[in-house]
Every structure is written in structure tokens, then in C-alpha cells.
Amino acid sequence: MIFNDFHFAFLFLPVVCAFFFLPVLSQHRHWTLLISSFVFYGASGMQHLLCLLIGIAWVYVWTRGTNIVGNRRVLVVAIAIPLSLLFYFKYLGFFLNSVSGWSGSADVKFDLFDDILLPAGISFFTFQMIGFAIDRYRGQHINVPNFSQFALYISFFPQLVAGPIVRFSQVSEAIAQLVQYRLRTEDASAAIAYITLGLAAKVLLADTLSNLISPMAAAPGDVTKTDAFYIIFGYSFQIYFDFYGYSLIAIGLGRLFGFHLPVNFNRPYSALNPQDFWRRWHMTLSYWLRDYLYVPLGGNRRYMRNILIIFALCGLWHGAGWNFVIWGVYHAALVAGYRTLHQGWDRMPNLIQIACNFLFVSVGWLFFLFDFIQFQSFIGALLNNNGSIVGTTTPEHWGILAISAVICFAVRFDKIISATEPARQTTVLRPLAFAGLFLLTLLFFDRSQDFIYFRF
């Protein structure tokens, strides 16, 4: 089930809200959300739901007692099953095919594992399970939840599939106070704003760009230079509005039920340098990698080594393929290069810094769009003069790209959302504008696609 779907918007969500806010069921709100989350995830397949349930039950059993505190063996056991499930579903085929290639048996391909359907969002909820277990191991001040509370923390449907990656301490109070929760006007207004803007970013911008880019990207070796540049920047905006749109919807849905989920984006394409970019893009993943991997590895004491390890793993987390690993190493090189040359970089005008950083990041996304063979073909088309090939970009293409750029760099979604607070509503213009935007988005629901990060 996806947010940009009529069944979710007009069946699933209204039913969940009806049961959640029904006074006679207020004592069972956590069960309402928990069962709804299982239904939401189970719609993608019962095998995937079983995978989620096994991980939840296993981690809860091994982390509920005090024997995990400071006990590395118990920690390893606690995270073993979630990691094993992640490895089986996501990485086993990649690992076996890579080993067969290294051993000289490149003609052997394990197609059986390529046919395994990856459970949506498994990388996200696995990281939440691991993070919780590590926090318990470290003895941090976590009030151990009961099973249903812990299960809700892991499976809460707004952020289950594509984040943000949440720490238990960020939602424990909301879970504990579900019975007393009352939806305030400001929360309802913010929720509507987040959901509307998120859906518009996904459906009107990301999916429109996808429909324009896909025909060109299908034959990466047969594009003109103009088409190639369009693919680079068009896909960069597509993945931005796709993932940003999901994160906005997740935050809005959370606000409906009393959850203040963390912000995942802070205008990342306006970053001045690669280091600044990773403080702004997918912020909850960056914090997770910092706290649970980078710092334990020694942090800044072994900076170059640790940056390479973290970003290589970050790339592998995004996808089971060497193109994703190369993407991670590429960003490690950008961050390490900036650290080495920052004095010269920082002397450039801010506009030049932003433009250079945006270009580097956009080129890196090509590793998400193409495999190695396609990437090689694309670079060849970009560098060579394909005079016999007719370009496919039209004024419509460039118009959508220009609109995306203006919205990305000039529009502050956080300012728009804060302006929807009831205290600032002096006219009906803003509510009417949001209603119009929502209706416009609905018109294009039928051509909308899955979120890109569902693959991860």
C-alpha cells in the first residue's frame, strides 16, 4: 500500500482515523495503530509481514531484560535475526553472484535469489531494530516498553517503509500518551499542510519528471548531449521530490496521531559543500550512521578510513549492487576531498559553492539510475558527438525542470507549513489554496508510481 493511492487516501486512512478517534475505543488506540500498521504492511504480502513480525518479536525478547546492558554477546544475538533477514532478502543473491565472479565462474548466476521480492522498507525498520538494541546495550535511559508499544514503534505505518529512521526516545512519550491524546487545531492544520505538500511534490513533480526521463533513460547510449544533461538534472530533482515528498507525508500522518516525527530534509540542494549536504539530506540516516557506526569506529581519529567505510556501507544500504557501493565511495571522496581542500573551496562565492555541490551530487545519482553497463553507455553518449541522433527534450521538459528548480531552491516548505497555523489564518485564501492543490494532485493519482526509496 502506498500513500499516493486512492485506496489509502479514501479507505484505509479514514477507517484508521475513525477507529482511532472513536471515544469508546480511546483506551485501545495503540492497538488501533498497531493493527492498522500490520494491515498496511501486509498488503504488500504476508511473507513480508511475517518477516517484520519475526524481527519485532526476536529483538523484543532479547532486549527487554537488563542482561543486554554491556553484554556484547546478547547484543549480537539480538540483532542476528533482523540482519539475517535483511541479508537473505536483499544481499544473498548479490553476494553469491559477486563470489562466483571473483572465483572466475562469471557464467554462473544465482537467478533464484534475484527472484526474491524485497520486502518494502526492510532496510529502514531493520536499522530501527538495531538502533534500539544498541541503545539497550549501552544502558541508555530507555523505559523498556511492553510488546505492543515496541511493535508500534517499529511498525508505525507513516514511517515504516521509507523513514524517517526514528529513535525510541523520540516517540516513546507519544506512544505512552495515546489514550489522552486530543487532536488540536494546530496539529490538524500542520498535518493537512504536510500531507498536501508531500503528495504534490511526489505526484506533480517527481512522477512527472519520471515520466519524462524514463523513455530517454531506457536507451542511455542513444541520447544527445542535451538529453544527457536533462537526465542528470531531471533525475536529481526527481529523487529529491520523491523522497522529500514521502518524508513530508510521513510527518503529516504522524501529527494526526500525536507523533512529532523528526525532520529528514533541510534544503540539501542549497548546501555549500559535500559535508554540509550530508547534514541536510536524509538527516535521520546520517545521524544513525554517525552514532552507531562512525563514532564506535573511532570517529575523527581515523577520519579517512571511517568516512570510506561509512559511505561504502551507506551505498550498500541503499541497494545490493556494486553501483551503489561506488556511489557511496564517490560521496566519501567528495566529503574527504572537501575536508582536504576546504580553504580554497570556502573562498568561492556561495552561489558557486552551491552550484558545484549540486552538480557533484546530481552526477552521483546516475549510479542509482543505471547499472555499470548503462552508465558506461551514458557517459559515452555524453562525451561523444552523436550528431545522427535526434534529441527528445521539448519545451515541456525544460519547463517542468525549471519549475522543479525554482521550487527546490526558492520555496521554503517549512515556512509555508508554519504559515498554516490557525493563529496566522487571517483569510480563507490559504485553506482554499491547499484544497485546490490537493484536488489537482488527485487528478494525477492514477499515473503516480511507487516511491523510489521503497526499494531500499
In the predicted model, what is the mean pLDDT of the chain?
88
Choose the weakest-confidence range: 83-97, 278-292, 346-360, 415-429: 415-429
pLDDT in tens, 223-243: 888 899 999 999 999 999 999
Q: Are 312 and 252 in contact (CB under 8 A)?
A: no
CA distance 130 to 324: 22
Is residue 385 pLDDT above 90, yes or no?
Answer: no
State residue 276's pLDDT score: 95
Is residue 97 pLDDT above 70, yes or no?
Answer: yes
Which one is catalytic: 48, 318, 331, 397?
Answer: 318
In the residue annotation, 331 being an active-site residue is answered as no
pLDDT in tens, 60-71: 999 988 889 999
State residue 113's pLDDT score: 47
Per-residue pLDDT, averaged over 155-179, amounts to: 91
pLDDT in tens, 26-51: 898 999 999 999 999 988 788 889 99
Is residue 110 pLDDT above 60, yes or no?
Answer: no
CA distance 304 to 295: 13
Is residue 445 pLDDT above 90, yes or no?
Answer: no
Share of the chain above pLDDT 90, in %: 60
Question: Which residue would you say has higher pLDDT here, 222 or 262?
Answer: 262
Q: Are 128 and 171 in contact (CB under 8 A)?
A: no
Handedness of CA 39, 93, 306, 271 (dihedral sign): negative
Is residue 361 pLDDT above 60, yes or no?
Answer: yes
State residue 119's pLDDT score: 78
State residue 387's pLDDT score: 57
All three cell numbers of 173, joined, read 512519550
Neighbours of 1 (CB within 10 A): 16
CA distance 137 to 62: 10
